[in-house]
Amino acid sequence: MNSFGRIFRIHIFGESHGQGVGITLDGVPAGLPVTFMDFAEDLGRRRAGAKGTTPRKEADLPKLLTGVFNERATGAPLTILFENTNVRSKDYDKLREMPRPGHADFVASKKYAGYEDYRGGGHFSARLTTGIVAAGVIAKKLISPVHIEAKLTEAGGNPDIDAAIDKAMEEQNSIGGIIECRAQGLPIGLGEPFFDSMESLLAHMMFAIPAVKGIEFGSGFGAAKMKGSEHNDNILSMDGKTGTNHAGGINGGISNGNELVFRLAIKPTSSISLDQQTLNVKTGKVETLKVDGRHDLCVALRAPVIVEAATALVLADLMMLEQLTVRRIRE
Amino acid sequence: MNSFGRIFRIHIFGESHGQGVGITLDGVPAGLPVTFMDFAEDLGRRRAGAKGTTPRKEADLPKLLTGVFNERATGAPLTILFENTNVRSKDYDKLREMPRPGHADFVASKKYAGYEDYRGGGHFSARLTTGIVAAGVIAKKLISPVHIEAKLTEAGGNPDIDAAIDKAMEEQNSIGGIIECRAQGLPIGLGEPFFDSMESLLAHMMFAIPAVKGIEFGSGFGAAKMKGSEHNDNILSMDGKTGTNHAGGINGGISNGNELVFRLAIKPTSSISLDQQTLNVKTGKVETLKVDGRHDLCVALRAPVIVEAATALVLADLMMLEQLTVRRIRE
Amino acid sequence: MNSFGRIFRIHIFGESHGQGVGITLDGVPAGLPVTFMDFAEDLGRRRAGAKGTTPRKEADLPKLLTGVFNERATGAPLTILFENTNVRSKDYDKLREMPRPGHADFVASKKYAGYEDYRGGGHFSARLTTGIVAAGVIAKKLISPVHIEAKLTEAGGNPDIDAAIDKAMEEQNSIGGIIECRAQGLPIGLGEPFFDSMESLLAHMMFAIPAVKGIEFGSGFGAAKMKGSEHNDNILSMDGKTGTNHAGGINGGISNGNELVFRLAIKPTSSISLDQQTLNVKTGKVETLKVDGRHDLCVALRAPVIVEAATALVLADLMMLEQLTVRRIRE
Amino acid sequence: MNSFGRIFRIHIFGESHGQGVGITLDGVPAGLPVTFMDFAEDLGRRRAGAKGTTPRKEADLPKLLTGVFNERATGAPLTILFENTNVRSKDYDKLREMPRPGHADFVASKKYAGYEDYRGGGHFSARLTTGIVAAGVIAKKLISPVHIEAKLTEAGGNPDIDAAIDKAMEEQNSIGGIIECRAQGLPIGLGEPFFDSMESLLAHMMFAIPAVKGIEFGSGFGAAKMKGSEHNDNILSMDGKTGTNHAGGINGGISNGNELVFRLAIKPTSSISLDQQTLNVKTGKVETLKVDGRHDLCVALRAPVIVEAATALVLADLMMLEQLTVRRIRE
């Protein structure tokens, strides 16, 4: 489903090489200040340009199509459109015969019986995350003063990320990475039993981000090796602050007032310049594929702002459900 | 929200020390054979009894309250109730003052303003998973011949699980573990972009299971340290079979026809017999807590059947959405 | 779908001649006082007994299965069960061959391929509305001081309802009726564009009540014959009060602060003692059917309390969405 | 909520005098032929121009923004945008002080705290139905060969609609009307107990159309005056055909294989040129309002194609749920 959320809802659409990508937000409180310039910083962080990112550069100018009037949200659906401008579809035409390993090419052609827009990954492209980042800008306003920060803590297994990128460029290979996300200032009580635990909703959203293959909260996989006496976070004060934070700020699926901490495993970019052996669906034989196009060496480089946005979207919906953010702004 | 699923939907209810726990399934195809005996095996696997599990024993007899007639599903909501019989609530009365570290006691009392049923964790209790296992029995029938198997691969960091339990018993401490789940026979094409990727839905469901703190698909966190040339699974045949399976059977959020593989991190049981320091919410001071009651040393021991059930529930809904399982049984 | 609502959600289950009928409420604010006795009055109004109602009498004792602790809602799912006691299923066995005109027998057997519980209408029985009435008792508490009152304004086309019932009894025929429902004290602003207008949600819910075949708001069908200058309700005060109320309290799908007014058309009870010609599905021929069993002459007699409950359920969800009722009770 | 549907879902957005209005469809089967020209006929029927309709004329050219590739649906969200071109917002500026009787002006300004886009009704404008008609074009393809036809059967209480319009023009007043909608070829079994009866879903959708104030199925309000022996439709053949069709093709909320018949009450256009007394929210006094702008004398004239589209949208979702239309087109 291309929708997420219960009260603060988002609906995503678009393709990498079509007319554009965008997102519609339903449930934005009327009166929330929204201007074109609000989006610049976060979209800038997502945009390509730095070392290790794709040479395809999109201006990523958000078009506030609906739901904003006099620089305020109106309470009606807020649609943000990003028109595609820098499109080179010919790069992808020959890939029809040879689905790229690691990409959705093969499964998409099966699921959609060959009618999918295959250019640049179509609806599966990471370009769709532009909409997530834009929606996150709105969500961050709503959950203020909760502060979210995500960063890349290692790339290709190396905490020296600059060195890791240099090495990958040298090897013409791609690398994965670990994103760590932390949020301070969360109220106690977010998350809904039984199925909408904080972990459930955050994980649901995070696994929508292309290339995410794992998530852990607090001590996560490390907790599986711990003893109860080590893992339990002793509660020390009436506002729920604990001595340690092995739980990552969540007990029983509910935020406990401590820092929210989770980590994401990002796989290496599937597109690599090196030769790969894969199926030619026309001949039915395994052949050599060389992917041209323009790609990121490490998608994880651009992911932190997407992860922050995704986190903000989940928190905004949960806080609205808990009536901790308002349905209308009054000033 | 206490519901999950789009077409094949479940609604869970109940408390650990109330009258019972149960689940309602909406969307079970009319005509599906359902008898009391179908539930015996999986409920038996979840039930306590083995070394390292709680001494509290419940008969766990499923009462097929609605939706079954002449041993067939009718197409109407199918409600399964488990009455609580072996309840010793006095164990929990004194805990009101001292919320147990690692448990939902503190957050529940904040979220529900002190009105929650605090006995034995109330609605947060792992006893609720009885309903998940029962619903999973129905789901497994629907997705046949897809076969799911989950197992505990290590406990307390030790692959010799028997030894790990012995040590934990000796130390009177609890331990966590890793559950690995594999499913064979999945069709290509399950999972719905953008937000309902296979990983998103499975993770959403898995994090509803108490004590789960991490999930990874295929190589998971290992993938973050790999190069693209290592991680990409080369497609070798027209049915999508790949040489390696670093993706865990999912590309672009869609099942690719290979084995589904994921692992869960289970934290150590929060209840331990050892003394713990924690807040007394009445005095506002940190005091010594000793948890009595009856507990598992390693909840991960009983988790595999729950994980299988949870997986089956997600797959059943996705297969129904893809029209790969029928809305009605005709014979 | 057997669920309704976004935040204040209900899930219904059960059959007329199975073990029972019930309802689960998700989203009841923790702390709301709920006792067994709260249900007596409204369930009494729904129960049979009066002239023109079915001789089948059920005690209708609500079993508060989950979600209530110390006579307060806990915030967890609140399940109310009504066990069936007065069941005479043999009345219905012979009807398998001859689906009753006006009933769901024929469509149910097609939709569920013959596996439906056909006894007494099964899941299609008006007995399911016991759960609606019980849930409505909770909803009425939540929306207080909004006051809802529904009444039967005519039966069989006659405003003298007592006379209409006498005549129907004499003729051994069934009759329909008109229910009018009014609610005072609604805040301005309930209803959500575009698809969740007040009228949309109320109509959705009302047409779930068996035998409802029409709904109109304010002047309704009369409005279709009016001129704009007659129909427009002039606004006279800052709190939105209008001179007339042709709109029935709703403009643009949003409550306008005036009295909510709508009317329902209830068809005559389908079960009648008179001979009817209908298909014998075994022989494929039209034959004479005589329905025995125990039936209402005029289901509309018992409908007002159901309509009130259904209205309260819609309003509770909308008020919760507008944050006009709380998620938690604090005292 | 600005979304409707379970599998075949629509999300609507836009304002009357903003940049445009549009709709996103989620769940369109991949491979469905979709071209620009498909929309011409139905959009032409909705468009103004005829006697009694507004002089505001929009080209209503659908922009297929996403989800279509090589004139086929791709399976990804299909977004259709209609840019606003013929906008004269100054007409509406002075109305801020005097909310128009019958319109959403007053309730919108309360609900959205004055931040709503008030120009031309903003998100409440009937212009939004352009998206419904466009989505209906897609839905009609899906449900083929089911055939839907809606028509205006009376205007201002007069079956001679041409005469009724002439009289209204002469009186400078607006009039309402009755729309009757019929659909042939429906399979038996559409509609989902308990809450998603055919009537529930159709009514939900129809009341989202501005100006609809009543709906009745089959004999509807007439049924309330009938006896059971008159109203019951005797089943005459194995495919469920009945002698009469008082039920309008629906029993127990489920389609019964006969013609679907329902009628809608459309209120007179709220905008009239005649003087009206209403509140000036700035002065708090009742004053004389004269509405200029460009308006329909009888919105019901343009409603039939909207009603058909709305019907098709409901049927498409129900048929997809029943697996009676496919998730993918294969040719």
Q: How confident is the model at residue C60 (pLDDT cuts 50, 70, 90)?
A: confident
Answer whether C157's CB lies under 8 Å from C252's CB: no
**Most A CBs within 10 Å, among C323, C324, C325, C328, to test the A interface:** C323
Residue D85 has a pLDDT of 87
Which residue in the set D102, D107, D195 is minimally distant from C188, CB to CB?
Answer: D107
- Cβ contacts (< 8 Å) between D193 and chain B: which residues? 76
| Alpha-carbon distances of A176 from A266, A296, B195, D155, rounded to whole Å | 5, 11, 22, 67
Tens-place pLDDT, residues A94-132: 678 899 999 999 999 999 999 999 998 899 999 999 999
Residue B120 has a pLDDT of 87
- Name the residue among D71, D6, D11, D70 with its Cα closest to residue D35: D71
Which tokens in the block code for residue A35? 């201007």
What backbone phi and psi angles, to 5 degrees, belong to D244? -105, 175
- Name the residue among A312, A310, A307 with its Cα closest to residue A265: A307
Answer whether D289's CB lies under 8 Å from D98's CB: yes
Cβ within 8 Å, pair C11-B77:
yes
User: Is residue B160 in a domain?
Assistant: yes
Q: What is the CATH number of the domain that holds C271?
A: 3.60.150.10
Cβ within 8 Å, pair C235-D279:
yes
Mean pLDDT of C130-152: 97
User: Is residue B47 in a domain?
Assistant: yes
DSSP string across B90-135: HHHHGGGTSPPTTSSHHHHHHHTTT-S--GGGGGGSGGGHHHHHHH
The secondary structure of residue B84, as a DSSP letter, is -
Q: Which residues pair with C330 in a beta bridge?
A: none
Residue D91: pLDDT above 90? no
Residue C202: pLDDT above 60? yes
Question: Is the preceding peptide bond at B304 cis, omega within 30 degrees of 0?
Answer: no
Q: Which domain holds residue A78?
A: 3-321
| Alpha-carbon distances of B135 from A102, B4, B62, B262, D211, rounded to whole Å | 34, 12, 11, 21, 45
Which residue in the set A3, A74, A81 is minimally distant from D123, CB to CB?
Answer: A74
pTM of the model: 0.97
Average pLDDT of the residues of chain D: 92
Residue B294 has a pLDDT of 67
Angle formed at CA D133 by CA D128 and CA D138, multiple of 5 degrees: 130
Mean pLDDT of D115-129: 93
User: Is residue B328 in a domain?
Assistant: no
Residue C239 has a pLDDT of 95
Residue A331: pLDDT above 70? no
Mean pLDDT of D45-73: 85
Q: Which chain D residue shows the shortest CA-CA distance from C188?
A: D107
Mean pLDDT of C1-22: 96
Residue C55: pLDDT above 80? no
What backbone phi and psi angles, to 5 degrees, belong to B209? -75, 125
Residue that is written with structure tokens 């150590």 in the block:
B268
User: Is residue B298 in a domain?
Assistant: yes
Residue C90 has a pLDDT of 65
Quick one: how many helices (H) and strands (E) in chain B? 8, 15
Residue C120 has a pLDDT of 86
* B41 Cβ contact partners less than 8 Å away, ≥ 6 residues apart: none
Chains that touch A (3 or more CB pairs under 8 A): B, C, D
Residue C331: pLDDT above 60? no
Residue D183: pLDDT above 90? yes
Tens-place pLDDT, residues C157-200: 999 999 999 999 999 999 999 999 999 999 999 999 999 999 99
SS3 per residue for chain C: CCEECCCCEEEEEECCCCCEEEEEEECCCECCECCHHHHHHHHHHHCCCCCCCCCCCCCCCCEEEECEECCEECCCCEEEEEECCCCCCHHHHHHHCCCCCCCCHHHHHHHCCCCCCCHHHHHHCHHHHHHHHHHHHHHHHHHCCCEEEEEEEEECCECCHHHHHHHHHHHCCCECEEEEEEEECCCCCCCECCCECHHHHHHHHHCCCCCEEEEEECCHHHHHHCEHHHHCCCECCCCCCECCCCCCCEECCEECCCCEEEEEEECCCCCCCCCEEEEECCCCEEEEECCCCCCCCCHHHHHHHHHHHHHHHHHHHHHHHCCCCCCECCC
The secondary structure of residue A43, as a DSSP letter, is H
d(CA C83, CA C61): 8
**Alpha-carbon radius of gyration of chain C:** 21
User: Is residue D25 in a domain?
Assistant: yes
Residue C50 has a pLDDT of 73
Positive/negative CA dihedral, A42, A44, A49, A51:
negative
d(CA C66, CA C78): 5
User: Is residue A154 in a domain?
Assistant: yes
- Cβ contacts (< 8 Å) between B76 and chain D: which residues? 193
C26 touches chain B (CB under 8 A): yes
Residue A273 has a pLDDT of 86
d(CA B131, CA C60): 26
Positive/negative CA dihedral, A38, A44, A45, A47:
positive
| Alpha-carbon distances of D206 from A184, A260, B113, rounded to whole Å | 45, 44, 41
Residue D280: pLDDT above 90? yes
Chains that touch D (3 or more CB pairs under 8 A): A, B, C
Question: How many folded domains does chain B comprise?
Answer: 1
User: Is residue B118 in a domain?
Assistant: yes
Neighbours of A330 (CB within 10 A): 10
Cβ within 8 Å, pair D235-C173:
no
Cβ within 8 Å, pair D242-C101:
yes
- Cα-based torsion angle of the residue sequence B104, A214, B183, B164 in order, rounded to the nearest 10 degrees: -60
Residue D86 has a pLDDT of 74
Q: Which residues pair with D64 in a beta bridge?
A: D80
A75/chain D closest Cα distance in angstroms: 6
Mean pLDDT of C234-261: 97
Q: How confident is the model at residue C208 (pLDDT cuts 50, 70, 90)?
A: very high
Q: How confident is the model at residue A90 (pLDDT cuts 50, 70, 90)?
A: low
Residue A293: pLDDT above 70? no
Amino acid at C89: S
D3 touches chain A (CB under 8 A): yes
Mean pLDDT of D129-147: 96
Spell out the alpha helix ranges (H) of chain D.
40-46, 90-93, 105-111, 129-143, 161-171, 198-206, 228-231, 303-321
Which parts of chain B have pLDDT scores under 70?
Answer: 48-49, 56, 88-94, 293-294, 327-328, 330-331
- Cβ contacts (< 8 Å) between C69 and chain B: which residues? 15, 18, 115-117, 122
D274 touches chain C (CB under 8 A): yes
Q: How confident is the model at residue D90 (pLDDT cuts 50, 70, 90)?
A: low
d(CA C115, CA C117): 7
Q: How confident is the model at residue D89 (pLDDT cuts 50, 70, 90)?
A: low
Q: How confident is the model at residue C103 (pLDDT cuts 50, 70, 90)?
A: very high
**Alpha-carbon radius of gyration of chain A:** 21
A vs D, Cβ pairs < 8 A, gives 174
Residue D331: pLDDT above 60? no
Mean pLDDT of A167-176: 92
Q: How confident is the model at residue A51 (pLDDT cuts 50, 70, 90)?
A: confident
Cβ within 8 Å, pair C76-B117:
yes
B100/chain A closest Cα distance in angstroms: 8
Residue D185 has a pLDDT of 96
d(CA D139, CA D23): 13
D160-166 contacts, C-beta under 8 A, 24 or more apart: D161/D301, D164/D298, D165/D51, D165/D52, D165/D297, D165/D298, D165/D301
Neighbours of A273 (CB within 10 A): 17
Least confident of A281-285, C136-140, C309-313, D206-210: A281-285
- Name the residue among D245, A177, D7, D303 with its Cα closest to residue B6: D7
Q: Which residues pair with A242 in a beta bridge?
A: A235
Mean pLDDT of D19-28: 97
